[in-house]
Structure 1
C-alpha cells in the first residue's frame, strides 16, 4: 500500500471510482480507499437510470458527460458497462407539466442534449402497452437509458488502474490531519468477523497533497472526522422488481423495441423493463431520512424493510399506466439509503475552511452524475477551474448555520419533491422560517411572500394583506404567475416614486489592518476607492475567471467593508479568508470579520427617496445632508436617521437615486417604522427581490450566479470599466490569456403575452444556436420581456436580431445597449 500520493480518494462507489479514474487520466499519482468492496454502498442497489434533464445548467452538463463517457468504456477497458441506450420518456398528464418540460428542454438545448416532443398518439404508436388517453404529451430523449451500476463502476476501476491508480479495498480512513503542507490520513485495515466488517490493529498513515471524500452513506462520519458540516444524509428509496409480464414478453418476441425508461412524473414514479418484467421506482411522501448522525459501522451492502403501504398509490398508478402488468407478481424488492442534500444537487468542490480537501457527497442520482463529476472535479483540482461554472454545486452554499435537523428535514422534503412540478419560482416550505431579520413580522403583516436565501427569509414580493397561507404556492407558474402583477407594481413604484427593499441577507465582511489595502489591491481587479468612497470589483479564480463580486466600502485607510451576494456568504468568506491567510506574510497584518448577522440593510430607491430620508436625517444642516455636494453618488457616510446610526452608501441596484442603509441589527425595527412613517405621504412601497431583479436587468447589472461565474471572465461579462489593467492583480495573466470567447449582452424580447424568459433559454442567430440566457424577466419601462445572456462575440453588437426559445417556440429578441434604461445614469446622479 502506498504511503505517499498526490491525491487520495476515499470511497469506492461509482462517484469515487470516476474521480480516481479522471485524476489518474490527468497524470496525478492517485490512490483510492474503500472500506469494504467496490460498489458496496448505494451503488450496488441503485436502479442505474441515466436521466439527462435537469433545471441546473451545471448538473445537465455533468449528466451529459456521463452518458457520453460511459459509452466509451468498453473500447477502453474491454469491460461492458451494461449501458442500454433505450431513451427516456417523460410523460405529462397536465399542461403545466408540459410547460415544465418545455423549460427542461430549453436548458437541455443550451447544453446540446437532443430531445423531441411527442403527442399521446405518437407515444401509443411507438409503445402500445402504455395507456395514453389521459396524457397531454411527452418529452423524449433517445440518447440515454439505464446502465448496470456495478458493471460501470468496475469498468471505471479497471480504467483507473490502467492509468496507474492504486485501489485498496478493506481500508478505512479513520483520522485526517493537515500538517501545513499535506494531509496525513490514518487508515485502518478492515477484516471480516462474524459477518461484520471490523477494524484490525493494522494501521498505515498515508500522506496526500489532496484528499477527495466520496463516502456516500458515511458522509456524516466524514464530517465528524473533518470537523465540518456536510448536509448529505440518506433517505430511504424503494423500488420493486416484478415477474414477467406476458404481454411485454409477447411484444418483444414480435420485434417490439425495448421500452425507454418511462417517467410518469405526475404519478411520482419511474418504470423500466427488466428481463420480461418491470422495475417500478417511486418518490413518495413520508420516506424517512436515515443515519443522520452516521451509518452504523456494521452497515454494509444492507437494505431496510420494504414499506409497501407507503407506495400503494404509485403501484396503482403503474397498473393504470401499463395495464398488462396487473397480474405480474412481485419478484424482488429494494429499500436502501440514497444520499440527498437540501436542494437535491450534490456537494462538489473544496471543503469549507480546509486546504486541499475536496468533497463529492450527496448524490441522489449518483450513477448519472458519477462520470461527469469525476471529469469536472478533476479539472478543478488539476487545472484550477472547470470549464463550466460549478458554483451551484459548491459545498459552501450551506453555511455553518446549517444543522443536522435542518439537513434531515430538507432532504426528506427534497426526496418527495423529485417529481413535483418544479416551478422556477418554487419556494419549498420545510424548516422555515429559520433565519429571520428583526423586521420579518412587520413585512409579513404587510403581505410579504418570502423566499429563502442562505437560510434567510427574504421577501420575493408583497401580495394581498389577506392572502391565505397557500397564496404563494398557488401563485407559481411556468408563465406569468399570480405574483407577477404585484412585482410589476413594485417595479413601477421604484421607477416613479420610492420603494424599500430588505437587503439584510447581503454577505458583509470587514477587513482591517496595515496590510489590508495592499492585499485588496492585489486580490481584486479595480482600483481601490478613496476613504469615504466605494467601488465595484471582482476577485478572480486562479484560472482568470470571475470568482466573486464585491462592493468595497473604504471606511479608513486600513479598514474596508466588502459586501457580496447574500446567497454566497460562506462561499465568499472562505475564499477571502484563505487568501488573507496565504498573503498576510506578503502584505502585512490583517484581520477579517464576518459581520453579516450584526448588520441589517435596507435599500431605499426612487426619485422620491431623498425626500423620504430627508425627513429623518439628523445633521447640522439637514437640508444639504443628502445633496450631491455633500453626499455624492458612489460615496459612503455615517449619518443618523432619527436615533439610529447608519452607514449609508449612495448606490442602488435598481438604477435609481437611492441609498443602502447599513444599520445595527438590534435597531432594525425602529428604523423600519421610522422610514415607513416618513414615506407614507409619498406612497413609499415595500419591494421584493423579483421586482428588483427586473429593475437591475434594465440597467444591465450583472448578478453573481447568473451572469457572473467561474466560466467567464469580467471582460467577457462586459465589465471592462471595473478592471484596471494598469495594475497587477491575482489571475490577471490568466484572464488576458483567455481572451473573449463570448460576450454578455442585454436583450429586449418580443415574447408571448403570458410568459417571460427565466434565464435558462437558448439563443439563436438564424438557425444556429449562438448562446444562452442567464436571467430574464419583465421590463416595466419598456413594457416587454427583458433578458441577459452570453452570445458569440460576432452576435453581440447592439441591434443584432436574435431569437430566444420560450415555451417551445422561437421569439424575436434584439441586443440593446448596456443599461437600456437611463444609459447616462442621470436618475442615479439626480441633482439636489
Structure 2
C-alpha cells in the first residue's frame, strides 16, 4: 500500500470510484481510493439505479448526460457489463401545468443536446397498453435513458480505474487530516470485523497527498467534522418496494414486446420499472425523515431501516390506478435506506471552504445518475483548474458556514426530498426554514405586502402585493398572479421613484499596504480613484469570470467591494486565498467580510433625487446631490436625518439613483425616514423581480447567469471593463481563448401569457441551434418579452433575427443593441 500519492479519494461508492477513474484518465498516474468498508456498501448498493436525464439545472443536465453516455462505454473498456438497460424514461403529466413544466425543461435539455420526444395519451397507450392513460395530458420521453445496476457499474469503474493505475484500498478509514502548507497528511485506520460491526483496529498509517477528495456519502457529517467545516449534506430515508410477478406483464413480455421504460408519474410522486416480471415502485412521499444528522453509527453498514408502508400508501394506490394489472401482485421485497440530500437537491462539488487542495463531492440524492459526470467535470477542475462548464451552482460554498446549521440542513433536506416530484415553478419559494436571516426592516416590509424570496439564507422582497395575497397560488410557468404587481413596480422606477432592499449584497473591506497592488492584479479593470467606483471582474486561471465586483475606493489603500448576495462565502474564500498567495509579493492585505454590518437600500427613478433632498443634512441640500457635487459613479459619505450613509451613485435599474449603505442597526430609522419623504413623490416599494426586468433593459449582466466560469468578460461583451494595458490574473488565458460565443440582448415577440425564464434554447429561422438564454423577463419600456443569452459571435449583431423556444413553440426574437433602454445613459446622468 502506498503512503504518498498525488490524489487521495475518500469513499468507494459510485461517486468516489468515478472520481478516481476520471483523475487517472485525465493523466494523474498516482491516485489512491480508500473505502472504510467494501465498495458500494453505502447508498450505492441499495439504489434503484435509475438514470433520469430530467433536470432544470444547466450544469446538472450536462453531468447527467455525460453519465448516461459514459456508462454505455464501460463494458467495451473493462469487459464488465454494468447492467445498463436502455429502456427509455417516460415522464407523464396529469395536468396542463405539468406539461408546461416539461416544456420548460425540454428547452433547457435542448441547450445541452439531450434528446426527447412528446407523446400523447393515445401514443402512450398504443406502445404500452398496461398503462392507464385516460386521465393523462401527455408525456415527455427520453429513449436514451433507462436504469443500471449500481454495484456492477461501480465495479466496472473500479476495474477501469485499476487498469489506469489507481490503487483501491478497502477497510481503511480516514480519521484525521492535517495540511502542512504543501500537502495533506491523512491519518487512516485499518477497519476490522467484530461481532458483525466494523470497528477500528490498532493499525494506523499516514498517507501524504497533494490533493484529497471526499466522496463519503452518508458519512458526510463525520467528514465535515474531520475537516472542521459545515456541510448541509444529510441523508433522508428513501423507500421502494419490489412486487411479485404481474401475470399481465409476464404475458405481455412473452408476446415479444420490449421492456417498459421507467415510468414516472410525477403527479403521484412515484416511479415504476419492471423487475423480473413484476414491478418496482419508488416514491418521494411527504414526511420522510432525515437520518444520521450527527453521524452514522458504527453498527450501521450495508443495512436498511424498517419499511414504513403507511407513509407510501397513497403512492401505492396511485400505482394500482396507473397499472391496474399489478393490483393482485404481492410484496416481494422492500428497501428503506439512507440517501444523502442537500437543501436544493444539487450535490456539493468543488473546493472545500477555507482549505487548500481539499475537494468535496458530497450530498448526491441522484448519485448513480450523477457519478459519471461528477468524476469527469471534477477531474477537469482538479487537473486543469476549471471545468468546461460552469460548476458554480454546485459549489459547496453556496451554503455559508456563518449561518448554515444542522437543524437548517435537516429540515430543508426533508423538504427537498418531498419536493422531488412537485411542480418546480421557476418562481417557486419553498417554505421550510424561512425567516432565518432577516434585515431589520423585514417586519415593516411584510406589513406592506412584501412577498419574500430566499437568497443565501436572507429574506429578500421579490415583490409587493396587497395584504392577504397568496404567493404560492400565484406561481406559474407562465405569467403568474404576481406579474401585474411587478409591472407596476418596474413602471414606478422608470416613471417616478422606487425603493429596493438590497441588504443581501455581499460586502468586503480590502485594505492595507498591499491592497492596491493586489486588487490591480486581482481584477481586470482600472481601479477607481479615491471617492469613485468601478465595475470589474476577477477571473479564473482560464480567463473566465470568477466574480463580479463593484469597487468603491475610500482611500489610497482602502477599498469597499460589493458583489452578489447569493455568493458571500464563495467570494470570500476566493478573495482570501488569492490575497494570501500574493501577500509576500504585494505586502500586508487585510480582508473583512462586513456583509452583516451594512444594510443597503437602492433608491432609483427620475424623482429619486427629489426624495433624498427632503432628508439630506447639508448646508446646501439643493446642490448636495447634484452632478457637480455628487457625479455618476462616485461615492460620498452623507447624512440622511440622523443616519450616516455611505452613498454610491449607481443604480442596477439604469435610472438616476443611489445605493444607500447604512449601519444595519439604523435600518428601521432610515426606512421610516425614506418612506415618509417619498410619500409626496409617490415612491413605491420595489422587489427583486422588477429590478431584474429593468437590468435586462440596460443589458446589465448578472453573475450566475450571464457571468460565470464558462465565459470570459470578452465573451460577455464587456470590453469597457477590461484594461488590456495592465497585467491581471487570467489575462493571458482570456486573450488566448478569444471569443467563442458572445452575449447579447434580445427583444422577443413571445406568447401573450408568458415570458422567458432564462433557460431557453435559441435557433436561427432556418432551425439551427445557435445558443441559449441565460436571463429572461418582461420589458415595461418595450412592452414585450426580453432576454439575454449567448450565441455564435457572428449572430450577436443588432438586427439579427432568431427564434426562442418557449412552451414548445418557436417565437420570433431580434438581437438588439446593447442597453436598448437609454443606450446613452442620459437618465442615469440626469442633471439636477
Same fold (TM over 0.5): yes
Instruction: State the Cα deviation string for residues 269-296 of structure 1 (Å, max 9, x = none).
Output: 0000001000000000010000001111
Distance apart, 1:357 and its partner CA: 0.4
Aligned to 1:798: 798
1:456 paired residue number: 458
> Greater CA deviation, 262-271 or 616-625?
616-625
Task: Output aligned runs, 1:474-485, within 5 Å.
Answer: 474-485=473-484
Paired residue secondary structure (2:320): helix
Cα deviations across residues 148-202 of structure 1 (Å, max 9, x unaligned)? 0000000000000111000000000000000110000001000111111111111
Q: Which residue of 1 aligns with 2:252?
A: 251
Q: Quote the residue 1:808 is aligned against.
A: 808
Q: Partners in 2 of 1:104 and 1:195 — Cα distance?
A: 47
Aligned to 1:348: 349
Q: What's the CA shift for 1:642?
A: 0.3
SS at match of 2:182: coil
Listed as ranges, the matches of 1:581-596 within 5 Å are: 581-596=580-595
Q: Give the match's secondary structure for 2:580.
A: helix
| Alpha-carbon distance in 2 for matches of 1:107, 1:13 | 29
Deviation at 1:465, TM superposition (A): 2.3
Match of 1:441 in 2: 443
What's 1:104 paired with? 105
1:418 maps to which residue?
420
Q: How does 1:500-649 map to 2 (within 5 A)?
A: 500-649=499-648
SS at match of 2:623: coil
CA–CA distance in structure 2, aligned partners of residues 329 and 465 of structure 1? 52
Distance between the aligned counterparts of 1:234 and 1:129, measured in 2? 35
Deviations 1:191-236 (A, max 9, x none): 1111111111111100000000000000000000111001100000
Aligned match of 2:11 = 11
- Structure 1: gaps spanning 5 or more residues: none
Per the alignment, in what secondary structure is the counterpart of residue 787 of structure 1? strand
Q: Structure 2: which 5+ runs fail to align? A: none
2:536 alignment partner, SS class:
strand
Q: After TM superposition, give the deviation of residue 298 of structure 1 in Å.
A: 1.9
CA distance in 2, matches of 1:128, 1:257: 12
Aligned 1:357-372 pairs, distance under 5 A: 357-372=358-373
Residue aligning to 1:391? 392
Distance of 2:57 and 2:514 partners within structure 1: 40
What residue in structure 1 maps to residue 743 of structure 2?
744
Q: Which residue of 2 aligns with 1:818?
A: 818
- 1:688-699 map, 5 Å: 688-699=687-698
CA distance in 2, matches of 1:340, 1:650: 43
What SS does structure 2 have at the residue aligned with 1:65? Answer: helix
Deviations 1:588-636 (A, max 9, x none): 0111100000000000000000000011110121111000000000000
Q: Which residue of 2 aligns with 1:375?
A: 376
CA distance in structure 1 between the aligned counterparts of 2:321 and 2:59, rounded to whole angstroms: 36
What per-residue deviation string (whole Å, max 9, x for no partner) do you get for residues 287-327 of structure 1?
A: 00000011112211000000001000000000000000000
Q: CA deviation at 1:15?
A: 0.2
CA distance in 2, matches of 1:689, 1:263: 35
Task: Provide the rounded CA distance (Å) in 1 between the counterparts of 2:145 and 2:736.
Answer: 37
**Residue 394 of structure 1, CA deviation:** 0.2
1:432 matched to which residue of 2?
434
Aligned partner of residue 385 in structure 1, secondary structure: coil
2:467 aligns with one of 465, 473, 478 = 465
Q: Distance in 1 between matches of 2:242 and 2:590?
A: 60
SS in 2 for 1:43: helix
What whole-Å deviation, never above 9, does each CA across 1:479-513 have from its counterpart, x for those lacking one? 00000000000000000000000000000000110
- Counterpart-to-counterpart distance in 2, 1:664 and 1:602: 11
Q: Deviations over 1:405-429 (max 9, x none)?
A: 0000000000000000000000000
Displacement of 1:737 after TM fit? 1.0
How far, CA to CA, are the matches of 2:761 and 2:259 in structure 1? Answer: 32
Corresponding residue for residue 674 of structure 1: 673
Q: TM-score, normalised by structure 2?
A: 0.99
- CA distance in 1 between counterparts of 2:368 and 2:468 reads 47
Query: In structure 1, how many angstroms separate the alpha carbons of the residues matched to 2:196 and 2:486?
Result: 62
Partner SS for 1:255 = coil
SS at match of 1:623: helix
Deviations 1:773-801 (A, max 9, x none): 00000000000000000001121111000
Q: Quick one: distance in 1 between partners of 2:738 and 2:171?
A: 48
Structure 2: how far apart are the matches of 1:623 and 1:480? Answer: 42
Partner of 2:191: 190
Aligned equivalents of 1:739, 1:687: Cα separation in 2: 39
The whole-number CA distance in structure 1 between the counterparts of 2:446 and 2:199 is 54
Query: What do the CA deviations read for 1:711-743 (whole angstroms, capped 9, x no partner)?
Result: 000000001110000000001001111111100
The separation in 1 between residues aligned to 2:123 and 2:812, in whole angstroms, is 30
Please list, as runs of the form range in 1=range in 2, the aligned pairs for 1:267-286 lying within 5 A after superposition.
Answer: 267-286=268-287
In structure 2, the partner of 1:38 is: 39
Q: Once superposed, what is the RMSD of the aligned Cα atoms?
A: 0.5
**Does the residue aligned with 1:303 lie in a helix, a strand or coil?**
coil
- Distance across 1 between alignment mates of 2:116 and 2:819: 36
C-alpha distance in 2 between matches for 1:482 and 1:662: 32
Give the deviation of 1:577 after TM superposition.
0.6
Tell me, in whole angstroms, the C-alpha distance in 1 between the residues paired with 2:794 and 2:113: 20
Which residue matches 2:93? 92
d(CA) in 2 for partners of 1:466, 1:368: 42
Taking the aligned partners of 1:561 and 1:207, their CA distance within structure 2 comes to 40
Give the superposition deviation at 1:814. Answer: 0.2
Tell whether 2:754 aligns with 1:755.
yes
Matched, 1:733 2:735: no
- Matched position secondary structure for 2:647: strand
What is the CA distance between 1:668 and its match in structure 2? 0.2
Q: Which residue of 2 aligns with 1:329?
A: 330
Q: Give SS of 1:680's match.
A: helix
| Aligned equivalents of 1:447, 1:544: Cα separation in 2 | 43
Separation (CA, whole Å) in 1 of partners of 2:518 and 2:273: 57
1:707, distance to aligned residue in structure 2 (A): 0.2
Q: Deviations over 1:315-373 (max 9, x none)?
A: 00000000000000100000000000000000000000000000000000000000000
**Displacement of 1:255 after TM fit?**
1.1
2:471 aligns to what SS in structure 1?
A: helix
SS in 2 for 1:324: helix
Whole-angstrom distance in 1 between the partners of 2:691 and 2:560: 23
Between the aligned partners of 1:511 and 1:210, the Cα distance in structure 2 is 29
Post-superposition shift, 1:466? Answer: 3.4
Q: 1:519 is paired with a residue of what secondary structure?
A: helix
For residues 484-503 of structure 1, the aligned pairs below 5 Å read: 484-503=483-502
Aligned residue number for residue 773 of structure 1:
773
DSSP-derived class of the 2:624 partner: coil
- Number of aligned residue pairs: 829
Q: Give the 3-state SS of the residue equivalent to 2:744 in structure 1.
A: strand
Q: Does 1:716 align with 2:718?
A: no
* Residue 664 (structure 1) shift: 0.2
Q: Which residue of 2 aligns with 1:784?
A: 784
Distance in 2 between the 1:720 and 1:519 partners? 22
Distance 1:294 1:704 in 2: 35
**What residue number does 2:224 align with?**
223
Distance 1:489 1:226 in 2: 49
